[in-house]
């Protein structure tokens, strides 16, 4: 009989064994500025109304398998053209997984500029696809020539473009994205997770390209706990992906909860405006600190470079502030930290702690 370790080695693919599970830091009682969440909670009267809406859900019954009422609400909220079809996922992560499962096969490849959202590569490895990384320029702009050359060489089945990009925060030039879409023999997925903070979208251009999909999430605008991702594209593509989507993947509480929240668009817009204003204030304050290099952001976070980032990160934690440490030996993100925009008082605490840590 094989030992447990031998059996694992025999049954689990080498690529999966080489992976490290996605790590979520335990914030404890620290100020949590590491996960790009909306820091605002709903006021008491709205929270009570939300709970009453959820109380009408019959949890002994399966949810609407097609989430039709929710799709209708999302279509209006996101201004999605009637001719464009929608598929929903348990967060964007599930949609990325469905897309990659749909195209995986011997010799198939996925391509993305890097650094970018880590799940593109993690899921590719998990499902057995080869991941092709195309480095961004030192300025974190898209290297169009390198992208098109890699597309020509590798003929990827999928290209992912985070727009704005995570973790760098910048919005790639639209003409550069056009060149990538037109050069791609496979599907191009524009991941608009941070669209609420940039105000820019490719949603209205889906019909212009027969290989374009647009992906959104509700996590960054204040519904991270409800786990809802949105994929928009031509019906012919989404009909194929629906064959892989697991039934009832969007639970009843998420459907009812999101429908309620979307009825209060004015409050969502108000929170986003406040976050964007705070982003500019925090960026200006960071730029005034000697030794801090701040990168432009069209998201709800700011990437900055600082000497001895590991030391500064640990000192911030000791001060009760949790940010994201992106620094790694020999990478383009060496000495980089990423801070989510929190409430004004949280941002003030971060700025004070950072000056003390330096």
Is residue 143 within 8 Å of 176, Cβ to Cβ? no
Pick from 230, 221, 227, 222: nearest CA to 253:
227
Predicted local distance difference test score (pLDDT) of residue 2:
74
More confident residue, 7 or 152: 152
Mean predicted confidence (pLDDT) in 142-148 = 98
**Architecture of the CATH domain 21-36+266-357:** Alpha-Beta Complex (3.90)
What values do phi and psi take at 103, rounded to 5? -105, -5
The model's confidence at residue 45, banded by pLDDT at 50, 70 and 90, is confident
- What was the pLDDT predicted at 42? 83
Query: Which candidate, 213, 6, 255, places its Cα nearest to that of 96?
Result: 213
Indicate the domain borders of the chain.
Answer: 21-36+266-357, 56-262
Query: What mean pLDDT is predicted for residues 176-190?
Result: 98
User: In residues, how long is the chain?
Assistant: 358
Find tokens 């094989």 and name the residue: 2
- Structure letter (DSSP) for residue 264: T
Angle at 141 between CA 137 and CA 142, to 5 degrees: 85
Cis ω before 164 (30° cut-off from 0): yes
- List, for residues 108-117, the tens digit of each pLDDT value: 999 999 999 9
Strands (E), the chain: 31-32, 85-89, 109-114, 130-135, 158-162, 187-191, 212-217, 229-233, 292-294, 301-306, 321-322, 324-325, 336-340
Whole-number Å distance between alpha carbons of 355 and 334 = 20
Please tell me which residue, 178 or 330, carries the higher pLDDT value: 178
* 154-170 per-residue burial string, b: 16 or more CB within 10 A, e: under 16: bebbbbbbbbbbbbbbb
Element (H, E) at 267: helix 265-287
- Only one residue has tokens 């212009």, namely 208
Of 298 and 22, more confident: 298
> What sign for the dihedral angle of Cα 303, 305, 306, 308?
positive
What count of other Cβ atoms lies within 10 Å of the Cβ of residue 88? 22
For residues 199, 341, 170, 19, the Cα torsion angle rounded to the nearest 10 degrees is -120
Nearest to 204 by CA among 84, 70, 73: 84
Contact (Cβ atoms closer than 8 angstroms) between residue 136 and residue 117: no
- pLDDT-derived band at 1, boundaries 50, 70, 90: low
Q: Are strands 109-114 and 187-191 parallel, antiparallel or unpaired?
A: unpaired
- What pTM did the predictor assign? 0.94
Q: Write out pLDDT tens, residues 158-168.
A: 999 999 999 99
Q: What is the largest CA-CA distance in the chain?
A: 65
The confidence band for 329, taking pLDDT boundaries of 50, 70 and 90, is low
Q: Please determine, for residue 88, whether its predicted confidence score (pLDDT) is greater than 70.
A: yes
**Per-residue model confidence (pLDDT) at position 15:** 82
Q: What is the pLDDT of residues 330-354, one digit of tens each?
A: 689 999 999 999 999 999 999 999 9
Confidence of residue 22 (pLDDT cuts 50, 70, 90): confident
Q: Which CATH number fits domain 56-262: 3.40.50.2300, 3.40.640.10, 3.40.50.300, 2.40.10.340?
A: 3.40.640.10
The mean pLDDT value for 239-252 works out to 97
**pLDDT attached to residue 119:** 95
Which among 327, 343, 347 is positioned nearest to 335, based on CA atoms? 327
Beta bridge partners of 188: 159, 212
């Amino acid at each position: 009989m094989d030992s447990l370790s031998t059996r694992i080695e025999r049954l689990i693919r080498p690529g999966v064994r080489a992976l490290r599970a996605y790590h979520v830091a335990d914030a404890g009682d620290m100020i949590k500025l590491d996960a790009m969440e909306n820091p605002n909670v709903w006021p008491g009267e709205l929270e009570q109304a939300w709970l009453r809406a959820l109380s009408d859900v019959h949890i002994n019954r399966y949810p609407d398998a097609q989430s039709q009422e929710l799709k209708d609400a999302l279509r209006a909220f996101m201004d999605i053209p009637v001719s464009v079809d929608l598929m929903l996922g348990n967060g964007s992560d599930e949609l990325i997984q469905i897309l990659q499962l749909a195209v995986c096969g011997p010799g198939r490849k996925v391509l993305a500029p890097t650094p970018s959202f880590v799940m593109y590569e993690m899921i590719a490895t998990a499902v057995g696809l080869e991941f092709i990384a195309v480095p961004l320029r030192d300025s974190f702009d898209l290297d169009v020539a390198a992208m098109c050359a890699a597309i020509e060489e590798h003929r990827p089945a999928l290209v992912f473009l985070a727009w704005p990009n995570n973790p760098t925060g910048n919005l790639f030039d639209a003409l550069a994205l056009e060149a990538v879409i037109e050069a791609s023999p496979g599907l191009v997925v524009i991941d608009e997770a941070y669209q609420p903070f940039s105000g820019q979208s490719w949603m209205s251009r889906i019909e212009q390209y027969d290989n374009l999909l647009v992906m959104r999430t509700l996590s960054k605008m204040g519904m991270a706990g409800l786990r809802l991702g949105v994929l928009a594209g031509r019906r012919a593509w989404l009909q194929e992906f629906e064959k892989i989507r697991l039934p009832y993947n969007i639970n009843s509480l998420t459907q009812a909860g999101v429908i309620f929240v979307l009825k209060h668009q004015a409050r969502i817009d108000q929170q986003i405006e406040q976050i964007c204003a705070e982003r500019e204030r925090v960026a200006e304050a960071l730029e005034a600190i000697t030794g801090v290099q701040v990168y432009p952001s069209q998201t709800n976070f700011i990437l900055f470079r600082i000497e001895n980032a590991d030391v500064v990160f640990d000192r911030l934690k000791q001060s009760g502030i949790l940010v994201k440490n992106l620094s790694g030996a020999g990478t383009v993100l060496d000495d980089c930290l990423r801070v989510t925009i929190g409430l004004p008082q949280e941002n003030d605490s971060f700025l004070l702690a950072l000056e003390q840590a330096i």
